[in-house]
Structure 1
Amino acid sequence: MAGAFQIRSVAGVVLVVAIFWAIATRKKEDGILYANEYRNKLRTPEEAVKVVKSGDWVFMSHFAMFPQALDEALSKRVGEVHDVMVRSVCATVSPKICAADPEKKSFTYMSGYLSGHERKLGEKGLCYYIPGNYSASPTNIRNGNMYPPDVAMIQTTPPDNNGYFNFGTSVSYARATCEKAKTIILEVNDQVPWVLGGEQESIHISEVDYIVEKSYPLPQLPPTNTETEAERAIASILIEEIEDGSCLQFGIGGMPNTIAKMIADSDLKNLGIHSEMATTSYIDLILKGKVNGSMKNIDRYKTVFTFAMGTQQLYDFLDRNPSFASYPVDITNNPNRIALNDKQIAINNTVEIDLLGQISSESSGTRQISGTGGQVDFTMGASQSKGGKPFICMSSTTMHGGKLTSRIVPSIKTFSAVTCPRTIAPTIVTEYGKAQLTGKSTFKRAEMLIELAHPDFREDLIKAAQAQNIWTRTNKIS
């Protein structure tokens, strides 16, 4: 028996060694295969963009992943092509195709959410906004509501040993775009973090037509170190609404950063994050043990997002970090999926709100400031979550033309977009308090909102409410 056991053990060892040798050999062969395929598809940026023809639709990847080398190469084709439509989202650099073609003879540029760079271009007529809820973008591409791209230009990581490139900090709707694109060009950047995903975070070399290489650091958004008195007051109100086990969504800016600092210094525990954006402010929450995702109903122990923007510290922290999971936006921003996590907290900003509860968060008159993004998605998702709470926040006033003006107004400014209709208006927060508008009548909404306004504007707002017939003798303003 002992001898037989030894023989079987030796045979087993030989078999195991053979299996591992076969795997290693196969991996080596695959590596050679993919290396050859990589070299065969490698082009200079100038060679790759020659595939763009007049009348084409071109997609460029989003946010910090905007493909800078391909953009620059395409800008040199001004005059060679005409009527080329280019779209992206929130480019964190100013597209060179716009600077090279101010008369738009060759290129027309569009964005699904305006960055600061794109806002300035929009004011010059060089960038057009594409309205829509962020969550609907992949569906709109797949079903043809958005023009299918002739050419997709997407920045990625270098490939792994299995021939996969990672979409880095912007999964967004890159995969949906690649499914519909006639030609796929990857801009490979060795400084892009490999971001682990829930799904659709990578593309295989067999799906790619051309590859260009360019190494540069991703654009950074420095943390907002200054905070106003109003932001601190709003954050203090919001922190009282967050419980142990809550699931958070908030973006970037002074007020979200202030909230994150307060959470980091609080006694809150077992928090989760399900958001469309990952920011630098999340790092401290994770390192201090405030966020662990242990109470989430889905994606437990994972911080879920669809794109990331922030400092180099954030990009380094994301690289192959198993506590993060990046999904396409039709998953992260699906209101039904958002609602699966209990106690979902959604914190978003706005430009102004009128006495009916109409929320304008993306434009001021004809001036497009940003975009709808995921505000509607997360407002609806959090409202459907068990114990969930959606908030729309703003300081009560702003300076306009050197004059202090109220951000609570009788009616939304002419031509301004209504981002959240009054039918889904949630809890509104200013430095003067909070008002839960859901289920309230028009006259009660007017009263509650005027109480949140700066005292200098309340009398005029009461007169406006009376003129709109949404004020009764029972209304009171403390």
Structure 2
Amino acid sequence: MNFSSKISREYQSKLTNAENAVQVVKSGDWVDYGAFATNPDLLDAALAKRVDELQDVKVRSVTFPGKAKVATADKGQGSFIYNNWHFSSGDRINHDNGNGYYIPFVYNEGPSHYEEEGTLRTDVCMMRTTPMDAFGNFNFGVGNSFQRAILENAKTIIIETNNTLPQCLGGTGESIHISEVDYVVESDNKPILTLGAPPITEIDEKIANYIVSEIRDGACIQLGIGGLPNAVGNLISQSDLKDLGVHTEMLADSYLQMFKTGRITNLKKTLDPGRMVYTFALGSQDLYDFIDNNPKCASYSVGYTNNLANISANDNVVSINNAIEVDLYGQVSSESSGFRHITGTGGQFDFAYGAYHSKGGKSFICLSSTVTGKDGVVKSRIRPIFDPGSIVTLPRTITQYVVTEYGKVNLKGKSTWERAEALISIAHPDFRDELIREAQDMKIWVNRNRKDCINAAA
């Protein structure tokens, strides 16, 4: 029997449908899903249908696209307990409705939680991949993340194939072989999640201008998601910056735009020169077409991309991430608003720390100076202290640059009163007097500087 025939026979012996595959799940099991667009679709729906016959099945996911059916099916009866490493908008709704829970972690440590004996148990792992190639490999597509570590920890592995996933070349840890798989389910090939270009506001453009002025030729860029990173990408695309590199957890359309305009070449990188390094991708179909079988792009496990030594190995790393609020001590909250959980730590800590330790590197935390609540009340996002329940994503010792539409400040090396003064100088003018009064009550204000602070910020 030749090699291809052997592979084909093994595939056929493991091929089944979703309903049969999920019968392997038993009450009390821990079930891991895929990451981002590689979360299972048919398998999730099939497992949810067993809601009346299972109890205490714990499911872990990473940013489910939409709302996981196991979470919505449970309705408080204890069949499924749904947990997530990083919230999507659907995960957020599930959490608001009491159907989901967050797992705190920093992204670079994801693989280690599964690799260290006795930390986590995976009875069943089910995820979407590309169809099997001629050599028996299933590629993780846009959701490498820490999938390989989960699979190696799993007792049973179920693959749901989808031919709309791009083949993302590695790197490391970007595929699994048929010999490691227990069941294969061929899906209906429903297109994977795509994201349209987020709107860019005037405030985004102002903040982007402050950041781009700090970027030099040959810098290595990491961008988060949303309108602000998109604004930075647009501005870089129109600039005369040269030979930019990419080492990031998320690959988004802003990188594609910078590549097409010749800003990104990756030629000046110390680590992985000539290639865009990433661990997952979220964006348009154009982005997915670009990374499909593209040797200029390298999909790695997050244990590689977000490894602190690997981030800092490149010179002039520029890390740009969003925040919900920043307090006068310089602490950054990017995950929750009070007790309402919104997203997750993700790789913000990894890249804030790694970028600062890169030669010539800089870490930026960006936010608009105010936000308008559902009640129509305008609030400052520079806060004296956070509300109870708000999570500290970056401790004050890690925060470097903070940027609003009113300017940028570098908090490194500054005392508590200097931090308060700097942050108030980039707060919205309508809130500065109040923030000064709060800083005085907190004993982090030097009175003689009040006038100077107000004048400098005006």
Out of 62, 65, 75, the position equivalent to 2:38 is: 65
Tell me the distance in 1 between the aligned counterparts of 2:178 and 2:355: 38
Tell me the distance in 1 between the aligned counterparts of 2:222 and 2:96: 30
What's the CA shift for 1:145? 6.2
Q: Which amino acid aligns with 1:408?
A: I
Alignment of 1:379 with 2:352, yes or no, is yes
| Partner in structure 1 of residue 76 of structure 2 | 103
Alignment of 1:285 with 2:285, yes or no, is no
| Partner in structure 2 of residue 437 of structure 1 | 411
Task: Provide the secondary structure at the position in 2 that maps to 1:414.
Answer: coil
Q: Which amino acid aligns with 2:326?
A: I
| Partner in structure 1 of residue 58 of structure 2 | 85
Asked if 2 retains the 8 angstrom alpha-carbon contact of 1:61 and 1:153, the reply is yes
What's the CA shift for 1:221? 1.1
| Partner in structure 2 of residue 341 of structure 1 | 314
| Partner in structure 1 of residue 290 of structure 2 | 317
| Partner in structure 2 of residue 396 of structure 1 | 369
TM-score where L is the length of structure 1: 0.93
| Partner in structure 1 of residue 304 of structure 2 | 331
What's the CA shift for 1:104? 4.1
Asked if 2 retains the 8 angstrom alpha-carbon contact of 1:66 and 1:93, the reply is no
Asked if 2 retains the 8 angstrom alpha-carbon contact of 1:333 and 1:377, the reply is yes
Asked if 2 retains the 8 angstrom alpha-carbon contact of 1:135 and 1:329, the reply is yes
Tell me the distance in 1 between the aligned counterparts of 2:159 and 2:437: 59
Asked if 2 retains the 8 angstrom alpha-carbon contact of 1:79 and 1:105, the reply is no
Q: Which amino acid aligns with 2:202?
A: E
Task: Provide the secondary structure at the position in 1 that maps to 2:391.
Answer: coil
Structure 2 residue ranges without an equivalent (≥5): none
Task: Provide the secondary structure at the position in 2 that maps to 1:422.
Answer: coil
State how 1:347-386 maps to structure 2 within 5 Å. 347-386=320-359
Task: Provide the secondary structure at the position in 1 that maps to 2:31.
Answer: strand
Identity %: 49
TM-score where L is the length of structure 2: 0.97
What's the CA shift for 1:146? 4.4
Give the superposed CA RMSD: 1.0
Compare 279-288 and 117-126 and name the one that shifted more.
Answer: 279-288
The superposition leaves residues 380-437 of structure 1 with CA deviations (integer Å, 9 ceiling, x where unpaired) of 0000000000000000000022111000011011111000001111110000001100
Asked if 2 retains the 8 angstrom alpha-carbon contact of 1:335 and 1:380, the reply is yes
Task: Provide the secondary structure at the position in 1 that maps to 2:122.
Answer: coil
Alignment of 1:180 with 2:143, yes or no, is no
Alignment of 1:122 with 2:122, yes or no, is no
Tell me the distance in 2 between the aligned counterparts of 1:448 and 1:283: 35
Out of 440, 447, 455, the position equivalent to 1:473 is: 447
Q: Which amino acid aligns with 1:298?
A: L
Asked if 2 retains the 8 angstrom alpha-carbon contact of 1:358 and 1:412, the reply is no
| Partner in structure 1 of residue 233 of structure 2 | 260
Asked if 2 retains the 8 angstrom alpha-carbon contact of 1:64 and 1:218, the reply is yes
Out of 437, 442, 452, the position equivalent to 2:426 is: 452
Task: Provide the secondary structure at the position in 1 that maps to 2:303.
Answer: helix
What's the CA shift for 1:222? 1.0
Alignment of 1:245 with 2:244, yes or no, is no
Q: Which amino acid aligns with 2:420?
A: A
Asked if 2 retains the 8 angstrom alpha-carbon contact of 1:67 and 1:154, the reply is yes
Tell me the distance in 2 between the aligned counterparts of 1:145 and 1:310: 36
What's the CA shift for 1:309? 0.7
Q: Which amino acid aligns with 2:410?
A: Q
The superposition leaves residues 369-390 of structure 1 with CA deviations (integer Å, 9 ceiling, x where unpaired) of 0000000000000000000000
| Partner in structure 2 of residue 272 of structure 1 | 245
Structure 1 residue ranges without an equivalent (≥5): 1-27
Task: Provide the secondary structure at the position in 2 that maps to 1:108.
Answer: strand
